[in-house]
Amino acid sequence: MQAGVDALVVVLCVLVAAGGGVPAALGAAFAFVYAVGRFALGGVVRSEARPAVRPAVLGWAGLLTALAVAAALAAPAGLWLAFPVFLVQLHVLPAVAGVVAVAATTAVTVAVGTSRTGASAGAVLGPVIGAAVCVGVVLGVRAVIAEAEERRLLLQDLVEARSVLAERERADAVVAERERLAREIHDTLAQGLTSIELVLRAADVALAGGDLARARDLVATARTAAAENLAEARAFVRGLPSPLVRAGLADALTTLAARTTERTGLAVDVRTSGDVHPLPEQVEQALWRVAQQALANTAEHAGARRATVTLSYLGDAVALDVVDDGRGFDPAAGRAAGRGRGLAGMSARVEELGGTLHVESTTGAGTAVAAEVPV
């Protein structure tokens, strides 16, 4: 648009100068002042956009207006210079001030024209229509530019928001992965190491009592537990299910019960009900970990003699119940004291699959852990 204004100024100044004499001098002066201002100010810019050059911009526009009025007074062709003045005023001034300046310049131009030729339609309508066209074009361009700038800012905000969201998603993914690893470590390595420590402690007692055969058996049990936990660790690092679960959840629970009895002395009974069938891998893995953690808690904390694990196939859901005859506890008091990492991990596993986990326990009356997951 700037190039168009420049071309218009050149053409109109040539038309004014063609008459010779004073109009030619005024046309040349108008062209010179316009060119100096254009290059010195770096373009026709709004005065409020660059406060440092505001006085120079306003003075430049005022000088051009005075030269245009003088040219109009000198010769009828001088009226043509009013049109580039309209554009300059609308560009350098705010919208309202620009329209007022154009209206004032138009009134002066009409007065000059009618004073020379009388109140003819051309003398009145020419400047008025020209001013209206200039106002409409410039304000329209301003509106388009403003809308484009608004869209640019909105797009910038959107890009920034997406960046923040992506960063937050990455952070959430890191936290989720840490939680997963924490649960897996707690449910595999921590429990396995605890079991190995208890078995080796029993082996130490057997050695102290001179029962070498018993000690060898316990050491072999500890080695087996270490190998199993190594396989479990490799599986969860690779995101694979527990090696035991790959053979089916019911068989895995039976094996878990046997190992728990062998290593802790807790008698565990496994029962199933309903139509036994394969379950989604993630469901079997979650319920396996719930059973593993529940039995580990029972063996370590409950002082129980027996525990029953019940796997119920309910058609559109599957339920796992682990009930023991131990000393029980107060779940609310445990949470308030900051304990219960294992229970929190079990609950998180089940909730991730859209299921529910309930813990019912009373001091002296045993504990029941019930998990139900849709399939």
pLDDT tier, 370 (very low <50, low <70, confident <90, very high otherwise): very high
Which DSSP helix (H) or strand (E) runs through 144?
Answer: helix 121-184
Q: Which residue has the higher pLDDT, 121 or 234?
A: 234
Least confident window among 9-13, 246-250, 359-363: 9-13
Cα–Cα distance, 133 to 8 (Å, whole number): 14
Cα–Cα distance, 195 to 299 (Å, whole number): 10
Locus of tokens 């449910």? 187
pLDDT above 60 for 13? yes
Structure confidence by residue, pLDDT tens digits, 248-286: 888 889 988 888 888 788 899 999 998 888 888 888 888
pTM over 0.85: no
Which token pair is 193?
């190491």
Cα–Cα distance, 242 to 234 (Å, whole number): 9
Beta bridge partners of 307: 268, 324
Cβ atoms of residues 269 and 276 within 8 Å: no
Mean pLDDT of the chain: 81
Structure confidence by residue, pLDDT tens digits, 303-327: 889 999 999 998 889 999 999 998 8
Structure confidence by residue, pLDDT tens digits, 70-108: 887 877 777 778 888 888 888 788 778 888 888 888 888
pLDDT value of residue 368: 92
Beta bridge partners of 372: 319, 356
Q: Which residue has the higher pLDDT, 114 or 340?
A: 114
Residues 28-35, mean pLDDT to the nearest whole number:
83
Cβ atoms of residues 235 and 252 within 8 Å: no
Cα–Cα distance, 355 to 159 (Å, whole number): 37
Q: Which residue has the higher pLDDT, 47 or 157?
A: 157
Which token pair is 265?
């002395």
Which token pair is 209?
């009592």
Cα–Cα distance, 293 to 306 (Å, whole number): 16
Q: Which positions ≥6 away from 244 have C-beta within 8 Å? A: 251, 252, 255, 256, 288
Cβ atoms of residues 357 and 350 within 8 Å: yes
Which token pair is 86?
């309209």
Cα–Cα distance, 86 to 246 (Å, whole number): 83
pLDDT value of residue 339: 53
Percentage of the chain beyond pLDDT 70 is 87
Output the DSSP codes for 234-295.
HHHHTTPPPTTGGG-HHHHHHHHHHHHHHHH--EEEEEEES------HHHHHHHHHHHHHHH
pLDDT above 60 for 45? no
Q: Which residue has the higher pLDDT, 20 or 64?
A: 64
pLDDT tier, 233 (very low <50, low <70, confident <90, very high otherwise): confident
Cα–Cα distance, 40 to 60 (Å, whole number): 10
Structure confidence by residue, pLDDT tens digits, 157-199: 999 999 888 888 888 888 877 776 777 676 667 777 777 888 8
pLDDT above 60 for 298? yes
pLDDT value of residue 43: 60
Residues 47-58, mean pLDDT to the nearest whole number:
69
What separation, in Å, do the N-terminal and C-terminal C-alpha atoms of the chain show?
Answer: 66
Cα–Cα distance, 33 to 26 (Å, whole number): 10
**What letters, b where the CB count within 10 A reaches 16 and e where it falls short, cover 122-152?**
ebbebbeebbeebbeebeeeeeeeeeeeeee
pLDDT tier, 46 (very low <50, low <70, confident <90, very high otherwise): low
Which token pair is 102?
């154009």
Question: Measured in whole angstroms, how far is the alpha carbon of residue 66 from the centre of its chain?
Answer: 57
Task: Rank 74-78, 116-120, 222-226, 302-306 by mean pLDDT and report only the highest.
Answer: 302-306
pLDDT value of residue 225: 80
Q: How does DSSP classify residue 299? A: I
Strand 356-361 to 367-374 pairing? antiparallel
pLDDT value of residue 115: 76
Cα–Cα distance, 69 to 146 (Å, whole number): 32
